[in-house]
Structure 1
Amino acid sequence: MKKQPTQWLLSAVAVGIAGVIFSQGYQSAVAADSASFEVTPEQKLTTRQVATLLDRSHYLNQPLDKQMGQQILQMYFERLDPNHTLFLQSDVDELTRKYGDTFADRLKRGDLSAGQEIFERYRLRSNQYYDFAKQFLQKDVDINRDDSIVLDREDAKRFTTAQAQRDYWERQLTFQVMSLSLAQEGDKARDKLYMENPDLTLGQDLILDEERTPSEVLLSRLTRQSQQLSRLTGDEIMETLLNTATLTYDPHSNYYAPLQATEIQVQSSLQLEGIGVSIRPYRKNPDYTQIVTLVDGGPASKSGKIKPNDLILAVAKDGTDMKDVVGWSTREVVSLIRGRRGTDVVIKVKQPNTPDSAARLVTLTRDVIEQEDSGVSHRVVTIERDNQEPARIGVLEIPSFYLNYQARRNGQKYRSVSIDTQNALEALNEQNIDGLVVDLRNNPGGSLDEVARMLGLFIKEGPLVQIRDNRGNVQVYKDEDGGKQLYDGKMVVITNLASASASEIFAAAIQDYGRGLVVGSTTTGKGSAQIQLDSLALGSATLTQRKFYRITGGSTQNKGVVPDVELVNIYEGADFDERSQKNPLKWDTIKTSPYKPEGRFSRDTLQTLNEQSTIRQNINPQFVYLNTLNNIKKMEDEKKPIKLNIDDRRAHMRAVEQKTLQAENQRRIALGEKPYKDWTTYQAALEAMFEERSHLKESERPKLPEDEAFVIEAANIMLSVDDGRDENAPASIKSTQSSSETESAEAE
């Protein structure tokens, strides 16, 4: 393989983890000191620098002109008020007329006055909301009303009158008090169970014992948000405006103020004292902090109790009481979670679209996170087959495409995913496996050099991925080792919605060469690379300058890699993929890079494999369970009206809980296990199970049956192929200009 000189940011979460300061929307109250808005020469220079980068160096080659300035301005309104409940339509119209035509030129001159005035209007409306909420929550809140509310107003029109706005505020506050009331009911039921059955806690202090009323809890949240925004510095206000500008170009170009830039550097280092999670505000409701990914080797990952997409509800730091962190900024949540090595932190988390009663309390011991502590793992599973000998299948689990850049640069011994994979394959080859499963689920990406080296272990020779820069130049990464293959047997790759960037490059190449099957669900669709810019006057930035293309010519951007055989999508309804973001780069095509496929799975073969797999999934208790959970999540649709009546809402939540419990019990009965008698017992059992697993080393921890089902099914799909690849596949594919119609059919 040719050595490439530049390392690019290929992780789906290498950028965009934080930087949303004002996304609290209408629920934020502001008491900021206007003196903090005085613009410094460094801020003006930084603004000009970022504007110049966007104007001249972004992949899109889109000048920062009048039209682009108008788009940034509208994006600024959206970032400050994502749920369309704070700014009145008259505010947006007035400020657009005043600044729409000059917004871009102002940025290029380093003039932040327009952004400041818009923020002042935001502050005014926020204060009005806070004053209204404070008065409203001082009296008894009626949670037995007959009217309803739509929570998700992202696509709704802004209010045209202050009265309509206040009517919504009242209903929103009522809904929050009602939701907190129901959450406290669930917490008290669990507290009672723990007190009556202390063995269920396994020695942990899991009793919440909340004494505040729901209105007091909510008022505390709003007060905290007010205090949070009052502490914002001018750098952080500038950060929101400049980050808005970069995000208008694409979701992975970001600006970070000095404080946040330092935080990003800390998170990217090889050693970090904490629990090992990447977080950001939850897009559907920025009051919640969402866990995006787990750092391989960190306490959260090792515990087995934290999941990507979890929402953080509360944190107890170093033995203190649980603090409700709904409405806190990501910075404040990080400050609670982070601490000295060896100390404990308790976090309360739940998955989106699940009742608060399904929240889990997780105790984690902070540690120095060695991102290379764990990496590629391998094992052999036995697959029973009708009227045939059992098959021995190797399993490679690849958490990320990691590489210790610093150690390699310093000429020291280093660890990388390609080295670990080579060692694992050599060990598996010695065991005479009948096939190989490569598990890329939840793999956020990593080093481009490493994914190229990895592919060289499986593919004889040829191009691996094409990369186009913002000038239209195309670079091709190739495997040029003379046809060597460390593993040349049957293989299958598992992907899901959280498989991103470098993972998508790997899966796409295996699929395009016909080297193996890709099964699971469509990947993230992050087909771009960013360059890190640390030379700004203040802070740092990432800028998208490259885009990835398959060797067939189709981009991995936006569409992702579509599997040959679909399995249950455990992230159904989630919105962290590229297709759900604002302003994603579009999918397109370039010329095919000449390559020689090892074979092609025929359309008939793939259809048969899908039909056979669907039959197995429909009778497999694990897949039936996961499918049922997906259907239950659809019961919680925030775009539909929700009645503001606690009895009605309680009945709805009980229905969700009952259906979830029923799904779990049906799975247990199918497996010959005893069902749970009620929801509270089920939740306590889950906490106890995860707590017990957390005390085991990761290598000793049994695989969760619902996770292992994907590995077993992937192996069955692979073994079902009786060399079903098309014998008439072309011996080689020459360079051609891919038409949109042809490439679209292949990519979809």
Structure 2
Amino acid sequence: MPLSSVLSRRIFPWFGCTAVCVLALGITQVQAQPAEAALPDASTSETVQRPQGQLPLQELRNFTEIFERIRTAYVEEVDDKTLLEYAINGMLTSLDPHSAYLQPEAFSDLQENTSGKFGGLGIEVGLEDGLILVVTPIDDTPAQKAGIRAGDLIVSLDGEAVMGMNLNDAVERMRGAPGSEITLEIRRKNEKELLTFTLARAEIKVASVRTEMLSGDVGYVRITQFQEHTGSELATAIEDWRAKGDLNGIILDLRNNPGGVLDAAVEVVDSFVSQGLIVYTKGRTPSAEVSYSATNHTAAGSVPVVVLINGGSASASEIVAGALQDHQRAVIVGTQSFGKGSVQSVLPITEDRAVKLTTARYFTPNGRSIQAQGIKPDIWVEQSEVTPYEQRFYKEADLPGHLSNPTQKDNNTGDKKAPANSSKAAADPSGELLKKDFQLYEAHTLLRGVTILSPRPEA
């Protein structure tokens, strides 16, 4: 009997079990059949039309043949369990960069990430041309403080090349005990030489929502990652601002936000939009067809909004920006976003293992797909620092013997009362923040202009 037939009969029951497991997860419609019934004569298998849903016989025989060759001829012995896990990993990672087999440690890490606390360097990563792409560094983490940027490509970890390395393996190498160090070599656009960073690992605690009141009664909200309570934290902050007095505008900063929990993104949009579609998904299964709509409760009312995005804004961040853009509820400022418009579902296999599988695509209310396209800002602003140019002008008030202003108080002392709405960056702590961040400065200027030209919104 040919070796392939022997192997098919010996190993095929594993495939039967897999078919049942796959069916239970709702991934595909496959009927488990007895091994003998599923194996027609090889001489006729190539000419017989395979019914829809039936497993491809020849490919299964190829797999069993390769499996046995590795077991018997590979230079080092590899146990069957490891080989099968390699096969599962390869099957998922070949689909797209976001599907993965989550073994116990990776499954635990995923649960920690959504709760806002995990260990490592603070980098959201993906794969690009065999290298590790930095999607975004997370605020107040070793990576962000060291100067690692979105778009950087990690070439090596502690001197070991990452080319061809599995993404999960690379992530595991970057994790470690707090205080331990790791050296990264990075290739950066427009830099001729590789950059070297030595980072000390730390326990990463991500504060999802940070707020600050800028001059001119403009509220600044920085969302670093969408977590379970992000929506409620944002709504509470906005309601507190409005209860304390005038709120002339809100800057929603989603730059370098890698995404997170979808429900949290929907709640954020709901804080600004009182009706209509927020986002919908399309996939192959009925469970992948989902839509989310706004409710009547809107924390921000009609307060003007500017949303800041950049190349590190991905996934849930793009859902928020796209929805507010389609509803014409906010002006989007910055640079084009990352373009991750796919939905990943975590499908538990056992208590400590799961499959992260891409099951659908996101679409904005107007039917735009975010995938590999991203959100284009309404006003394109590149990042830089604000560097005021000092220039001295002599004014009428500097001339000796100038006439006094009859409507200005304290004419005799020369003191001038500033208009009620003016802002002085030097006296305002938020002025330093605006100086360092040109995109934020432009967003703030835009909202101040809207405040001047528009009637004050009602409480």
Q: How far apart in 1 are the matches of 2:358 and 2:209?
A: 29
Deviations 1:120-142 (A, max 9, x none): 9xx99xxxxxxxxxxxxxxxxxx
Deviations 1:624-653 (A, max 9, x none): xxxxxxxxxxxxxxxxxxxxxxxxxxxxxx
1:541 and 2:347 are equivalent in the alignment: no
Structure 1 residue 105: deviation in Å? 1.4
Deviations 1:693-719 (A, max 9, x none): xxxxxx99x75966x111112233445
One-letter amino acid of the structure 1 residue matched with residue 251 of structure 2: V
Alignment equivalent of 1:352, drawn from 188, 209, 212: 188
1:478 and 2:290 are equivalent in the alignment: no
Q: SS of the residue aligned with 2:322?
A: helix
Q: Which residue of 2 aligns with 1:262?
A: 105
Q: SS of the residue aligned with 1:552?
A: coil
Q: Which residue of 2 aligns with 1:399?
A: 224
One-letter amino acid of the structure 1 residue matched with residue 143 of structure 2: A
More strand by share: 2
Are the counterparts in 2 of residues 44 and 111 from structure 1 also a CA contact under 8 Å?
no
Are the counterparts in 1 of residues 280 and 290 from structure 2 also a CA contact under 8 Å?
yes
Residue 427 to residue 237, structure 1, CA distance change in 2 (3 Å): same
1:340 and 2:173 are equivalent in the alignment: no
Are the counterparts in 2 of residues 47 and 107 from structure 1 also a CA contact under 8 Å?
no
1:418 and 2:242 are equivalent in the alignment: no
Q: Which residue of 1 aligns with 2:36?
A: none
1:363 and 2:92 are equivalent in the alignment: no
Residue 704 to residue 334, structure 1, CA distance change in 2 (3 Å): farther
Q: Which residue of 2 aligns with 1:193?
A: none
Q: How far apart in 1 are the matches of 2:16 and 2:55?
A: 15
Alignment equivalent of 2:304, drawn from 480, 486, 490: 490
Q: How far apart in 2 are the matches of 1:350 and 1:479?
A: 42
Structure with the larger RCO, 1 or 2 (CA within 8 Å, 6+ apart): 1
Q: How far apart in 1 are the matches of 2:332 and 2:77?
A: 49
Structure 1 residue 313: deviation in Å? 5.2
Structure 1 residue 252: deviation in Å? 3.3
Structure 1 residue 402: deviation in Å? 0.8
Q: Which residue of 2 aligns with 1:326?
A: 161
One-letter amino acid of the structure 1 residue matched with residue 295 of structure 2: E
Residue 43 to residue 524, structure 1, CA distance change in 2 (3 Å): farther
Deviations 1:531-583 (A, max 9, x none): 21222699532223333322223333343322222223x7xxxxxxxxxxxxx
TM value normalised by structure 1: 0.43
Residue 230 to residue 442, structure 1, CA distance change in 2 (3 Å): farther
1:550 and 2:386 are equivalent in the alignment: no
1:57 and 2:8 are equivalent in the alignment: no
One-letter amino acid of the structure 1 residue matched with residue 222 of structure 2: E
1:531 and 2:366 are equivalent in the alignment: no
Deviations 1:337-357 (A, max 9, x none): 43333x231423434335464
Q: Which residue of 2 aligns with 1:650?
A: none
One-letter amino acid of the structure 1 residue matched with residue 292 of structure 2: Y
Q: SS of the residue aligned with 2:251?
A: strand
1:517 and 2:331 are equivalent in the alignment: yes
Structure 1 residue 397: deviation in Å? 0.9
Are the counterparts in 2 of residues 50 and 242 from structure 1 also a CA contact under 8 Å?
no
Q: Which residue of 2 aligns with 1:252?
A: 98
Alignment equivalent of 1:438, drawn from 242, 252, 255: 252
Deviations 1:559-608 (A, max 9, x none): 3322222223x7xxxxxxxxxxxxxxxxxxxxxxxxxxxxxxxxxxxxxx
Q: How far apart in 2 are the matches of 1:238 and 1:710?
A: 49
Deviations 1:461-505 (A, max 9, x none): 333222334246754322233x54434211111122222221122
Are the counterparts in 2 of residues 337 and 345 from structure 1 also a CA contact under 8 Å?
no
Residue 47 to residue 472, structure 1, CA distance change in 2 (3 Å): closer
Deviations 1:233-277 (A, max 9, x none): 655654555445445655433345x4xx53243254244343333
One-letter amino acid of the structure 1 residue matched with residue 227 of structure 2: Y
Q: How far apart in 2 are the matches of 1:314 and 1:46?
A: 40
Deviations 1:655-702 (A, max 9, x none): xxxxxxxxxxxx98x868xxxxxxxxxxxxxxxxxxxxxxxxxx99x7
One-letter amino acid of the structure 2 residue matched with residue 523 of structure 1: S
Are the counterparts in 2 of residues 494 and 520 from structure 1 also a CA contact under 8 Å?
yes
Alignment equivalent of 2:442, drawn from 713, 717, 741: 713
Q: How far apart in 1 are the matches of 2:247 and 2:124?
A: 36
Are the counterparts in 1 of residues 272 and 301 from structure 2 also a CA contact under 8 Å?
yes
One-letter amino acid of the structure 2 residue matched with residue 709 of structure 1: F
One-letter amino acid of the structure 2 residue matched with residue 348 of structure 1: L
More helix by share: 1
Are the counterparts in 2 of residues 464 and 551 from structure 1 also a CA contact under 8 Å?
yes
Structure 1 residue 512: deviation in Å? 1.7
Q: How far apart in 2 are the matches of 1:111 and 1:49?
A: 21
Give matches, 1:157-236, under 5 Å.
none
Residue 289 to residue 477, structure 1, CA distance change in 2 (3 Å): closer
Question: Which consecutive residues of structure 1, in runs of 5 or more, have no partner in the other structure?
Answer: 1-38, 63-96, 125-228, 316-322, 383-390, 404-415, 571-621, 624-666, 673-698, 726-748
Q: SS of the residue aligned with 1:533?
A: strand
Q: Which residue of 1 aligns with 2:275?
A: 461
- What CA RMSD, in Å, does the superposition of the two structures yield over aligned residues? 4.6
Structure 1 residue 283: deviation in Å? 2.4
Q: Which residue of 2 aligns with 1:112?
A: 63
Q: SS of the residue aligned with 2:161?
A: coil
Larger Rg over CA atoms: 2
Q: Which residue of 2 aligns with 1:309?
A: 151
Are the counterparts in 2 of residues 46 and 538 from structure 1 also a CA contact under 8 Å?
no
Q: SS of the residue aligned with 1:57?
A: coil
Structure 1 residue 433: deviation in Å? 3.7
Alignment equivalent of 1:277, drawn from 82, 99, 123: 123
Q: Which residue of 1 aligns with 2:407?
A: none
Are the counterparts in 1 of residues 277 and 291 from structure 2 also a CA contact under 8 Å?
yes
Residue 466 to residue 289, structure 1, CA distance change in 2 (3 Å): closer
Q: How far apart in 1 are the matches of 2:255 and 2:447?
A: 17
Q: How far apart in 2 are the matches of 1:117 and 1:292?
A: 39
Deviations 1:501-525 (A, max 9, x none): 2112211221122111112233233
Residue 107 to residue 362, structure 1, CA distance change in 2 (3 Å): farther
Q: How far apart in 2 are the matches of 1:381 and 1:107?
A: 66
Question: Which consecutive residues of structure 2, in runs of 5 or more, have no partner in the other structure?
Answer: 1-9, 31-45, 391-428, 455-459
Q: How far apart in 1 are the matches of 2:286 and 2:273?
A: 28
Deviates more, 1:526-535 or 1:239-248: 239-248
Q: How far apart in 2 are the matches of 1:310 and 1:42?
A: 46
Are the counterparts in 1 of residues 143 and 199 from structure 2 also a CA contact under 8 Å?
no
Are the counterparts in 2 of residues 57 and 470 from structure 1 also a CA contact under 8 Å?
no
1:381 and 2:219 are equivalent in the alignment: no
Residue 337 to residue 40, structure 1, CA distance change in 2 (3 Å): farther
Q: How far apart in 1 are the matches of 2:77 and 2:335?
A: 43
Residue 312 to residue 49, structure 1, CA distance change in 2 (3 Å): farther
Q: SS of the residue aligned with 2:211?
A: strand
Q: How far apart in 1 are the matches of 2:22 and 2:70?
A: 20
Q: How far apart in 1 are the matches of 2:64 and 2:363?
A: 41
1:559 and 2:373 are equivalent in the alignment: yes
**Number of residue pairs the alignment of both structures matches:** 378
Q: Which residue of 1 aligns with 2:422?
A: none
One-letter amino acid of the structure 2 residue matched with residue 368 of structure 1: E
Percent identity over the alignment is: 22
